[in-house]
Amino acid sequence: MAYDPFWMRPRGGFIGLLAVALAIAGLWQAGAARRVYAKQQSQPQQSSPKSQSSSSSNSQSSSSGQSSQHDSGGMPGMQGMSGMDHGQMSTSQEGQANSQMAMHSHMHMGPHMHMTAKRPASAEDWAKADEIVSTLRDAIARYKDYRVALADGFVPFLPNLPQPMYHFNSSRNGFLESFTFDPARPTSLLYKKTAGGYELIGAMYTMPKTATEEQLNDRVPLGVAQWHLHTNLCLPPRGDKFDMTRFGLTGSITTPQACDAAGGRFIPVLFGWMVHVYPYEPTREKIWEQ
């Protein structure tokens, strides 16, 4: 199942050196994840979703602060996923864009969400998808205890922001997924928050934003699931308040021309390709529902 492109095949001692480097990076990241999470948990919790929705200005300032605290954790704004574009955003604006993505479902993002075209699924597609799910389910069983995920270097994305689902991201896995595919090595783990911590509900695979639909199909068949990109992001001028009715992943501005007219900065694609998997759901369709 693992994909082995020609540029990653062993050549002399290169692979050995790369393995050592990745091992060192993994150990460092695991420690960083524990430190970041401990710091986040020691800070005051945010207000409920209801109170946040009643005051947009409070929501803006709180998400900006959360973005700042993630910047020191090795994965600001999910930067562990491949194909991401952060250099064009200030810290506060990145926090706003990420908060929008966390709070809204894909179906409500309209022109800010690009999904691969639907294809008819063949028997071979479903067989491959079933094998992916079986491998993934076994591989992530240990992460039902979210503390094990933290110890392995997965970093929670905006844990203090009320969300229907939380992404715990591995920058190491995201990097490797740019070159190879291993169903047992998702970029992100998906959790629901509970009274006692987090409940594991799924995982997410990623590919660089430059990947073609055929390359995506080689990993997860497009007849089974639709990969998605976050697109057409217009950021307000630096220093301006983040008006979510106009800017960001839920704003009305969706073209470079309209963004220029508003004095904003246009980002055609934010992050890379993503696809969710929910291996504990009872049916195939629910498992691959996006």
| SS3 per-residue string spanning 30-99 | HHHHHHHHHHHHHCCCCCCHHHHHCCHHHHHHHHHHHHHHHHCCCCCCCCCCCCCCCCCCCHHHHHHHHH
Residue 36, number of CB atoms within 10 A of its CB: 20
More confident residue, 38 or 218: 218
Residue 50: its pLDDT value, please?
37
Sequence-distant (≥ 6) Cβ neighbours of residue 137 within 8 angstroms: 279, 280
CA angle 126, 135, 140 (to 5 degrees): 130
- Check whether 45 has a pLDDT greater than 50: no
- Check whether 185 has a pLDDT greater than 60: yes
More confident residue, 79 or 187: 187
Q: Give the Cα separation of 65 and 19 in Å (integer).
A: 36
Burial of residue 245 (number of CB atoms within 10 Å: 0-12, 13-18, 19+): exposed
- Check whether 121 has a pLDDT greater than 70: yes
Per-residue confidence at 109, pLDDT binned at 50, 70, 90?
A: low
Query: Helix (H) and strand (E) counts for the chain?
Result: 10, 7
Average pLDDT of the residues in 163-180: 95
The residue whose two tokens read 């001028």 is: 237
- Check whether 126 has a pLDDT greater than 80: yes
- Check whether 86 has a pLDDT greater than 60: no
Per-residue confidence at 283, pLDDT binned at 50, 70, 90?
A: very high
Residue 245: its pLDDT value, please?
84
Q: Give the Cα separation of 144 and 256 in Å (integer).
A: 43
List the structure tokens of 52: 């946040």
Residue 112: its pLDDT value, please?
80
CA angle 177, 183, 188 (to 5 degrees): 60
Average pLDDT of the residues in 279-286: 97
Instruction: Find residue 235's DSSP bridge partners.
Output: 265
% the chain with pLDDT above 70: 62
Q: Would you give the DSSP letter of residue 106?
A: G
Range name among 85-99, 179-193, 225-239 with the lowest pLDDT average: 85-99
Per-residue confidence at 53, pLDDT binned at 50, 70, 90?
A: very low
More confident residue, 167 or 85: 167
Residue 209: its pLDDT value, please?
94
List the structure tokens of 171: 């920058």
CA angle 4, 8, 12 (to 5 degrees): 130
- Check whether 224 has a pLDDT greater than 90: yes
- Check whether 88 has a pLDDT greater than 60: no
Average pLDDT of the residues in 139-161: 96
Range name among 48-57, 66-75, 117-126 with the lowest pLDDT average: 66-75
Average pLDDT, the chain: 74
Among 44-58, 66-80, 94-108, 206-220, top mean pLDDT goes to 206-220
CA angle 32, 205, 158 (to 5 degrees): 45
Q: Give the Cα separation of 70 and 94 in Å (integer).
A: 11
More confident residue, 79 or 170: 170
Per-residue confidence at 106, pLDDT binned at 50, 70, 90?
A: low
Neighbour-count burial for 40-59, b at 16+ CB within 10 Å, e otherwise? beeeeebeeeeebeeeeeeb
